[in-house]
Amino acid sequence: MNRIEKLFSKKKKNILNIYFTAGHPTLNSVEEIICTLENSGTDLIELGMPYSDPLADGTTIQKSSAIALKNGMHLDLLFEQVKSARNKTQIPIMLMGYLNQLLQYGLDNFLDNCVDSGIDGLIIPDIPMEYYESKVLEKLATRGLKMTFLVTPETSKERIQQADKLSTAFLYVVSKSSITGNISGVSENQQRYFESLNELDLKAPRLIGFGIHDKDTFDAAAKNANGAIIGSAFIRSLEKDGVLGIKKFVEDIKGD
């Protein structure tokens, strides 16, 4: 059983998924951050593949990606670092990036390296579902890799159901129509949106992301899904407090 499947089979609520960019804040910090996140109580890690044109990301993640690239991060090194971390941890790890990165690397080669290094699944926000079904789905399935699709408040009911069907890891519920990094609270409109998803009889587990940045927003999201995703707020914490601040960051989110 895939590590992501094991997580969702054992834990149904309050799942904490933390995103950070590989190669940020330093080139060789991936393994230490992964292990510290697990030891601090994080359930799932979303590892960003630094990219020069991250369309869905706000300024915080864009900046972290630019720094990672300047530091010298590239996909071969990322795979090496994850493989090294796998000697110390079995926390589920997903790679998040863009379709062009996979195609430039070579899709089959990329997926083989995911398996070899211990990656459990992918989040590729700009991959069309139709392209995924015809070109990628079978390649992931034969390798035991999972996939996550994103839905937004503007996604039609039919597309939400299709994304739910194709999401073998979890369904990524974008809390609002914006880029990442917003720090406002959960609005009444968002609450109605979350509730509307409950009426669709969706099958995949759901995690809510975009704008989740503290205990209050995490708790609000977790009431409407299996858990939540925190990215920009964690990156800002890394920049301010470094690895030593991770334990307190996670504890503050979870209320431990």
User: pLDDT tens digit string along 95-143?
Assistant: 999 999 999 999 999 999 999 999 999 999 999 999 999 999 999 999 9
- Name the residues annotated as catalytic: 46, 57
- Indicate the domain borders of the chain: 14-254
Residue 241's region, left for phi above 0, alpha for psi from -120 to 50, else beta, is alpha
Distance between CA atoms of 233 and 249, rounded to whole angstroms?
9
CATH number, domain 14-254, options 2.40.30.10, 1.20.120.1200, 3.90.1640.30, 3.20.20.70:
3.20.20.70
Q: What local confidence, expressed as pLDDT, does residue 256 receive?
A: 65
The pair of structure tokens assigned to 76 is: 């071969």
Using a cut of 0.95, tell me whether the model's pTM lies above it.
no
Distance between CA atoms of 102 and 32, rounded to whole angstroms?
25
Distance between CA atoms of 122 and 62, rounded to whole angstroms?
19
Nearest to 168 by CA among 128, 130, 129, 122: 122
Which residues, 6+ apart, have CB-to-CB distance to 104 below 8 Å?
Answer: none
Tens of pLDDT, residue by residue over 149-185, are: 999 999 999 999 999 999 999 999 998 754 444 545 5
Distance between CA atoms of 42 and 247, rounded to whole angstroms?
10
Which residues, 6+ apart, have CB-to-CB distance to 141 below 8 Å?
Answer: none
